[in-house]
Structure 1
Amino acid sequence: MFFQHKYLWLIAAWMVVTSVLGGMATKLGPWYFSLIQPPWKPPDWSFGVIWTIIFILSALAWMIAFNSGASASQKAKISALFWLNSFLNVLWSVFYFRMQHPDWSLIEAFFLWGSVLAIILVMWPIRRIAAYLMFPYLIWVTIAMRLNWETLVLNPGAY
């Protein structure tokens, strides 16, 4: 069966670690609420919903790739890329929310975006549906980068 997977613990750990650490790094305080935001910014409550969907799709992509005849080398690359992605995901939140440096987070976001693209490229030859499941993540990081950029423009000197 699809979900009876010996690596399920690894995938579940990735989701939990990234979610918990990312949540702990996200501090919505006076500094954040004082920022002028672009009018198109989604409401704050929607970010948790969006990230939950992205993590579920990413975990499914990982499981599908692993269950689709990926070689040991491909599995190692996918796992390493997901853990690198986790680190970059949390680091973005640390830079933006904890350190209050949207300028640093914008630079870092290019690495985060690249890590998602790398996952897609490694999954593509294994199972395309797994790669397609990662596209919402890539799109969301692209949107977040635009939001990050516009926030910088609207708030010169706020960091």
Structure 2
Amino acid sequence: MTDTTRDDRGIWKRALWLVPLVVIGGSLSGIGFGPDQWYSELEKPPFQPPSYLFGIVWPALYTMIALALATVLNEPRTSQRDQAVGMWIVQLVLNFAWSYVFFGAKAIDVAQWHLLAIVITAALTAGRFFRIRPLAGWLMVPYLLWLIFAYTLNSAIVDLNPGAARPLFG
């Protein structure tokens, strides 16, 4: 008789280093390239959340997606798992780079399309995570919903500020 009980202790061992790594990485991205005087002068839509909310939401979302990765990494290594982890890394790199594109380079129109790429990559990642371990997929859902909101917000800022975007390079 074989024991089919799942051992999830490995999730927490991985989470102990993954969660701080992702939260600190995201925080540094936001601190390095965050809102400034230029941003405060842009027209914002009425559904723009107060700035303090971003400092609450993003660490919570980064914690959840790090836990999602820890959950997937706890599963046996397969090519499916490796591809899902690779996709997760791609979406995170895109996520961390968005702050530079929007706030640093002030390329708000490019940032809009950059954000769409993050949404698509994160959705594909969540789909792969669902197939490996549904819990990991569900942990990605709040992040996906916030990304969709962020895309809507970025799009509204572009629409409300014609001519405010700068070229990404140059």
Shorter-chain TM-score bucket reads 0.7 to 0.9
Among candidates 108, 114, 133, match of residue 108 of structure 1 = 114
Larger radius of gyration: 2
* 1:22 to 1:80, Cα distance in 2 relative to 1, 3 A: farther
Larger mean Cα displacement after TM superposition, 77-86 or 43-52: 77-86
Write the deviation string for residues 129-152 of structure 1: whole angstroms up to 9, x where unpaired: 210110111111100111011111
RCO comparison, higher one (Cα < 8 Å, 6+):
1
Give the aligned length. 156
Distance 1:52 1:145, change over 3 A: same
The within-5 A match list for 1:88-107 is: 88-107=94-113
Rounded to whole Å, the distance in 2 between the matches of 1:70 and 1:22 is 34
* Structure 1 contact 22–89 (Cα < 8 Å) conserved: no
Give me the identity figure in percent.
28
TM-score when normalising by structure 1: 0.87
Superposition deviation, residue 12 in structure 1: 4.3
Query: Deviation at 1:63?
Result: 1.6
Segments of structure 1 that go 5 or more residues without pairing to the other structure are none
Structure 1 129/115 Cα, relative in aligned 2: closer, same or farther at 3 Å? same
Pick closer, same or farther for the CA change 1:10–1:54 going to 2, 3 Å. Answer: closer
Note the residue ranges of structure 2 that are not aligned, 5 or more in a row: 1-8, 166-170
Aligned to 1:24: 32
The reply to whether residue 34 of structure 1 matches residue 9 of structure 2 is no
Normalising by structure 2, we get a TM-score of 0.82
